[in-house]
Amino acid sequence: MFRMNKKGFTFNQLFKLLELAFLLIIILSFVFLTRHTVQKSTDTSSAEAYSYLHSMLYSKNGILYHDSDIDRQYPGIIDVSRFNDIYLDSSMLLNLSENVELPAAKLALLDQSGMVREAYWHKKWYDRLYPKAGGRGVGSPRQLYQDLYVLKRTAGGRLEPAYLSIELIVPRR
């Protein structure tokens, strides 16, 4: 009758189990690392905020002085007649549904006499997003502060030095 060497057979089986356990650990660590390193979404709210800021400042429909005779925009010169809520809301229209949170901004223009003029872009959304802004969570809106030294063009055409402070709040989507 044929007899198997029981010691050798058990050793081979245990060695195969160790190989299988080691292979399982490698596969699980590979799955774990790929799930934690691959991003499923990208936060573009920072780029979106800078895009809105540049559109607000440098577009023809923005708050800067625009000479329609020569079709020239003057960077750094704020037109006081354009610096109001109604003009900002009408010049920077967004085609989004009512269910989506809209970006909003607060602009403050401080001249040498200490007079502060404030204008809001989407004031309703600014009031809603401001308490949540600046948090560390994923759902908290991104806040961008920008301070600029500008010239203020009055209704008479005079240029006066001023300080423009912009606080832009962009919801994360």
The neighbour count for residue 44, using CB atoms within 10 Å, is 13
Mean local confidence (pLDDT), 155-173: 85
For residue 4, name the pLDDT band (cuts at 50, 70, 90): low
Residue 1 has pLDDT above 60, yes or no: no
What predicted TM-score, i.e. pTM, was given to this entire model?
0.68
| Higher per-residue confidence, 61 vs 99 | 61
Q: How confident is the model at residue 35 (pLDDT cuts 50, 70, 90)?
A: confident
Q: Domain boundaries in the chain?
A: 7-38, 45-170
Question: In this predicted structure, what is the pLDDT of residue 29?
Answer: 94
User: Which pLDDT value is given to residue 28?
Assistant: 95
pLDDT band at 138, cuts 50/70/90?
confident
Chain-centroid distance, C-alpha 165: 18
Task: Kindly give the residue spans of alpha helices, DSSP state H, lying in 38-122.
Answer: 45-58, 85-91
CA distances for 145 relative to 42, 50, 134, 148, angstroms: 22, 10, 11, 10
Order of strands across the sheet with 159-170?
64-67, 72-79, 142-153, 159-170, 104-111, 116-121
What letter would DSSP give residue 17? H
